[in-house]
A and B are shown apart, each in its own frame.
Chain A
Amino acid sequence: MRLEARGAISPAMAVAAPLAAVAFTLVVAALFVAWAGAPVGRTYALIFEGGFGSRFAWSETLTRATPLVLTGLAAAIAFRARLYNVGAEGQLYAGALAAVAVGGLHGGTGFGLPPAVLFPAMLAAAALAGAVLMALPAIAKTRFGVDEVVTTLLLNFIVLLVVSMMLDGPMKDPTAMGWPQSVALQDELQLAKLVERTRVHTGLLIALALAGLAWGVLRLTTFGFEVRAVGANARAARFAGVPVTRTILAVALASGAVAGLAGAIEVAGRTGYVTLDMSPGYGYTGIVIAMLAGLNPLGVVAAAVFVAGVLVGADSMSRAVAVPTYIADVIVAVALLSMLAATVAARYRLRLR
């Protein structure tokens, strides 16, 4: 058995491969649903209805998609340069803590600054926190050759413990009756609702703008070209005069900053304060979204909405039929693996010799 490179990827193949992956995912997930003893068709219908079937469903899906667009972007930007930042989860929490540190502490006075100054300062602090957190593994990679996957993964655990420490100590909300949550952000710093009587907030617009920006930078600028060159072949890029180390560091900072922003926007748009469970693995799901999108920033938006719909839909489905919500995680994981296999099928021909 061997793989043989196809000359060029035919447009038909480029469309058919992801569709085949989605179809395969639905079949595999159907087996899991059937195993739980639930009617497959009805379960799928309930997931779809819960995720996309009504105005309310769409509002919940878009609310959930907002942080996912950002963590998906964080992964997509980094993976483009073959920098495997899988620490978006930790960077998100670091950003959330930084946002509350700027916009919530000091007895809510916010240094006595007006919201017009404080709001950008809050976002900047969150971006900085995420970037700094990603700088350590990036420097360890470029200077010492330490694999960034393991360091970023381990940092996620460390950050979560720091969050827990902060919620027990300096950032504890004394009025929360011992519930582990941070002090709340000032009301003036909370993001406005985009649609009335829903939870969709203007953070969605920030996420979309960043996706457009990332697409433009990667596609249209010299820096974007250098990022893609480093990702395609770092040695060749270095030979051609691309500053590889500098590019990797810049990508790391950008990726960490976007993930940090995700934390600030979640706090400012949805929760209002930091809790230990404010992210049900958005950082990890972002990796899947980036891969589903083929690392394309605009594709990230579509993939994030799809995944958010599945997550939201599974939540509402499991209230009606006896299928655990974990089916959403199974669907997302199978989608990732089959999409990976589909990319190979599009580029290579399988020869059974």
Chain B
Amino acid sequence: MIDALAAMLANADFWSAVLRVATPLVLGTLGVLLCERAGVLNLGIEGIMVAGAFTGWLAVHAGASLWIGVLVAAATGAAFGLLHGVLTVSLALSQHVAGLGITMFASSVAYYAYRVSFPNVSTPPTIQPFVEMRWLELPVLSAQTPLTLLALALVPVVAWILNRTPLGLAVRMVGENPAAAEGQGLSVFAVRMGSIIAGSALMGVAGAFLTLSAFNAFFFNMVNGRGWICVALVVFASWRPGKALAGALLFAFFDAMQLRLQQADVGGLPYQAWLMLPYVLSIVALIAVARRASYPQALMKPYRKGER
């Protein structure tokens, strides 16, 4: 058992897998983080990832380039983000229920559209996905696709925007004390709307990573709870981009590990027990950090101008 673990940790392929598993989580977590720092929970992520995975793949399948596919996925995410914004910011509806509604809507539309576009296929049509960046000639990174690089690069960018720019200050202020932000002449509506749209676009790209890089086709249930895991990771990361990256990597580490141990049949456990590990870990992490979690103060509190 120890030998098997040591061999696994010494293997560069394992660390490549960790980074690959982490990529959609990094993108999704950054997306959730942007929404929540502005005070809006976005449980639409699970469905937005499905929709992004589908539209990005569909665009490429129809002949667009891979990067256009990524843009299409981002635009899809942004569109559902706009809808979520209208429901939660303009209409001040329950963010829990609206988010679940978006997830149901986005995923059912994606599945419907897939069936309309490909009524009679038994095996999902494939595309030529992003290729590994062999030219980098670095140990773990050259086994990744450009989308992973994009995800990693976005972490410091989002951190910088949130912590060092007036725009980021506005986002954080709206998420902590919208009434005070409004008093400073900021439009809570515009800032929240912008954050949700930008965050949801990232969720769309997170989904597209699955169809344009990790796999080469669109499958049913391919997102499989990754969106919910991102929501948990944001709490675990106490709403900080750097920690979000660390959390996603840690999580991916365990996920990649369970896959290896499952294949090696270590301990004679049924494979389902290994598959459970990521979900169990997410719950454990949530409970572990809950006591010292510093939620954005206005999270889940709709803001109505002139109402106290």
From B96, B119, B225, B270, A154 is in contact (CB under 8 Å) with B225
A150 partner residues in chain B, CB cutoff 8 A: 228, 231-232, 235, 282, 286
Cβ of A155 within 8 Å of any chain B Cβ, yes or no, is: yes
Cβ of A145 within 8 Å of any chain B Cβ, yes or no, is: yes
Question: Which of B56-64, B102-110, B165-173, B206-214 faces chain A?
Answer: B102-110
Interface string of B113-157 (1 = CB under 8 A from A): 001100100000000000000000000000000000000000000
Q: With A147-B235, A154-B279, A158-B276 as given contacts, are A326 and B270 in contact (CB-CB < 8 Å)? A: no
Q: With A154-B228, A158-B280 as given contacts, are A336 and B270 in contact (CB-CB < 8 Å)? A: no
Question: Which of A14-22, A162-170, A222-230 faces chain B?
Answer: A162-170
Cβ of A1 within 8 Å of any chain B Cβ, yes or no, is: yes
Bound CA span A2–B187, Å: 13
**B104, B273, B286 interface centre (most CB from chain A within 10 Å):** B104
Interface string of A260-290 (1 = CB under 8 A from B): 0000000000000000000000001001100
B228 partner residues in chain A, CB cutoff 8 A: 150, 153-154
B231 partner residues in chain A, CB cutoff 8 A: 149-150
A332 partner residues in chain B, CB cutoff 8 A: 104, 108
Bound CA span A169–B105, Å: 36
From A154, A157, A164, A288, B104 is in contact (CB under 8 Å) with A288
Q: With A153-B225, A326-B111, A330-B108 as given contacts, are A341 and B93 in contact (CB-CB < 8 Å)? A: yes
Chain B binding surface, main DSSP class? helix
Q: Decide: B290 and A146 in contact? CB cutoff 8 A.
A: yes
From A36, A84, A337, B105 is in contact (CB under 8 Å) with A337
From B87, B107, B273, A337 is in contact (CB under 8 Å) with B87
B111 partner residues in chain A, CB cutoff 8 A: 324, 326, 329
Q: Decide: B282 and A324 in contact? CB cutoff 8 A.
A: no
Q: Decide: B225 and A330 in contact? CB cutoff 8 A.
A: no
B272 partner residues in chain A, CB cutoff 8 A: 161-162, 164-165, 168
Cβ of B5 within 8 Å of any chain A Cβ, yes or no, is: no
Cβ of A128 within 8 Å of any chain B Cβ, yes or no, is: no
* Closest Cβ–Cβ distance, residue B53 to chain A (whole Å): 16
Cβ of B283 within 8 Å of any chain A Cβ, yes or no, is: yes
Bound CA span A103–B304, Å: 54
Q: Decide: B270 and A146 in contact? CB cutoff 8 A.
A: no
For residues 291 through 345 of chain A, which have their beta carbon under 8 Å from a beta carbon of chain B?
291, 322, 324, 326-327, 329-330, 332-334, 336-337, 340-341, 343-344
Cβ of A239 within 8 Å of any chain B Cβ, yes or no, is: no
Q: Decide: A154 and B306 in contact? CB cutoff 8 A.
A: no
* Closest Cβ–Cβ distance, residue B94 to chain A (whole Å): 8
A327 partner residues in chain B, CB cutoff 8 A: 112
Closest to A161 in B: B272
**A140, A153, A291, A336 interface centre (most CB from chain B within 10 Å):** A153
A-B contact pairs, 29 of them (CB 8 A): A3-B91, A84-B96, A140-B283, A140-B286, A144-B290, A144-B291, A146-B287, A146-B290, A149-B96, A150-B282, A150-B286, A151-B283, A154-B228, A157-B276, A161-B276, A161-B279, A168-B270, A168-B272, A284-B104, A291-B97, A330-B105, A330-B108, A330-B109, A333-B101, A333-B105, A336-B97, A337-B102, A341-B93, A344-B91
Chain A contact residues, CB within 8 Å of chain B: 1-3, 32, 35-36, 79, 84, 86, 140, 144-147, 149-151, 153-155, 157-158, 161-162, 164-165, 168-169, 284, 287-288, 291, 322, 324, 326-327, 329-330, 332-334, 336-337, 340-341, 343-344
Chain B contact residues, CB within 8 Å of chain A: 43, 83, 87, 90-94, 96-98, 100-102, 104-105, 107-109, 111-112, 115-116, 119, 189, 224-225, 228-229, 231-232, 235, 270, 272-273, 275-276, 279-280, 282-283, 286-287, 290-291, 293, 304-306
